[in-house]
Structure 1
Amino acid sequence: MRIKKLAHITTASLAIGALAACGNGDAETEGGDAGGEDFPNGNVRIVVGSGPGSTMDELARLLAPYLQEEWDESVVVDNVPGANQSAAYNEVANAEPDGHTLFIGVHGTMGIHNALGNLDTPYDEFEWFGTLVEEPYTFYTAADSDIETLDDLVDAEPVRYGDSGYESPVNPFALTVFDALDTEFIFTPGFDPGAAQSGVLTGEQHLVGRDAAQMLRGGTDQDFRALLVASEEPHPLQPDAATFTDVEEQFGVDMPVLDIFQLGFPIGTTPGTDEETVDMLADTVRGLIEENEEFQTQLEENYMEESMLAERIGRETTSEYVQNVIDQYEEFGVEDLQQQLEAGGQ
């Protein structure tokens, strides 16, 4: 088996490998005392806004046994799907502000919800303390598709593209690319992630947008071809994909490299939680990334060693990222996403 699928790693099986988790670093420097001796003093929930098997769920189940070993308290993953992650977000936002309820989501999805006023608590008022994984969005075609280059994509117009819905965070990336290539497209909403990928393989759709390592983590990369990555430089896991630099040189256009073109998974807790506890949460996760060899092996086996980085963990760093996302969505405009997608570049 070429990849260990996180969705199939149970808390029980991971706990075996987690026994070394708290022995790889100084407990005080890794945050053991930073949040006070009383934290945690009960079960910790990691809430995700999707069902089992999503990348958010996989990240939560990867972290849970290591945090449980670190804290000597039960850490459970709670799937609360609904309203495109906002049901889970709002549940954590209204929980007791004591750091015992965590949330893992998607920066772009939260940014769109925030711009549309769908969140009980504004996106920038949540106690975010890290971005777990960050990868640029990539357009994929089927491996046996006739679309092998950007020229082939333009020649295929109207390009058939679909994702989970009008509010998918992949859509601003897609609209920017289609506009730069001056390509007409047909957007088909309503696909769940699996159906969107299947639609590409059956020829119903030309493209699907995913993060640059997701196909590798899922073990299905041989079925797809990475066509274009939202980066100026080639991606180490998708070196054959065209870049924004290639688009600029080939088509004579300017391509912005924005945070909203990245799939980032933030982790946070309830607003009002004291800073000491929030910093302790950040320090604990950072300690796993920097010091825990078993955890590092898990990252490597799941193609996350270059996308889950210690420098992305921390309140100030994450706050800056969140503000960038808010500003970029404000400039891009999301209120008329549905109209833009339905217009199809015409």
Structure 2
Amino acid sequence: MLADGVLVVGTGLLGTSVGLALRRAGVDVRLRDTKAEVLNEAIRMGAGRAESPDDAPAALAVVAVPPEAVGTVVADVLSSGDASYATDVASVKVLPAAEVRARLADSGRYVGSHPMAGREISGPGGALADLFEGRPWVLCPDDQTDQQVVTRALAVARLVGASPVTMTIDDHDAAVALVSHAPHLVAVLMAARLVDAPAHEVRLAGPGVADVTRVAAGDPALWTEILAANAHAVRSVLTDVRRDLDRLLAALETSESARADLYQIMRSGVEGRSRLPGKHGAEHTEFATVAVVVDDRPGQLAKLFADVGAAGANVEDVRIDHSPGQPLGMVEIDVRPGTDVTLRDALTERGWNVHA
């Protein structure tokens, strides 16, 4: 069904990652971007080839442009015959769907989609062939959608290693407001507290604040477009957050009842986090952590992971924290409960400084 190849329009992080993953699966990928230098970088990375005027219509166009441009690009690709069907990968779906319908009489050849994957690094240089592996890829067909475009978009999602999920456009935008857009804003607000903070305070920052503010490093221009396109759903989530923040401020009093309410708020955080899916979308699992002190010297991480592999441990997650002002780092390795003791013993025998 993808024998005629895939046209990727927009060779930023997501578009280039789609190209890399499809090329790995043996699909003919042709690339298009309005910026020649961006297109050439994606081609150099192996994400596909530049489209040619002699190309037959692609089986599917994957439009990877900002939300406000999706409608125009999809209409152009389908009207020109450059592709038989089209999907997009924008992180909002209501706005693109409305604009495609407004611009295209035969809008059934388009289906909105959204891979729930990304990085704080923008541009083709941040692209990864395995970016989508195990991640949900949402498809949003409606009663006017041609089954062929759904079939082809599903094929792309599966070929890149994602897990397809079907939702309405309204349900999708409400969901991403909760799990992506509002959390991004909370991270931004917390990171903004650091701008004018005294240097001696910021110097104490550890992995906790780094984890909380990680996504705040995303492209401000792109995120402004995303948030503007999903403003209503994001406002709804933030209104609830504001209510909880007011409750938290009241709980930070000195009375015994306030202390009990503070505990309940903290407890709700534990319960909410436990609902997050685990690796590859599996049920959430709490792992045991093995913390190892590593010298900041070339080859140390490779040696550590080789020793972890020799010990027979399956690494579920890993975090690296550098000690401020010290040539040392702490590597935290998450493993299945029950295997952590064996791993600690094995690494200690190999000379590693393992924290209890």
Would you tell me which structure has more helix in proportion to its own residues? 2
Larger relative contact order, structure 1 or 2 (CA cutoff 8 Å, min sep 6): 1
TM-score normalised by length of structure 1: 0.29
TM-score normalised by length of structure 2: 0.28
Larger Rg: 2
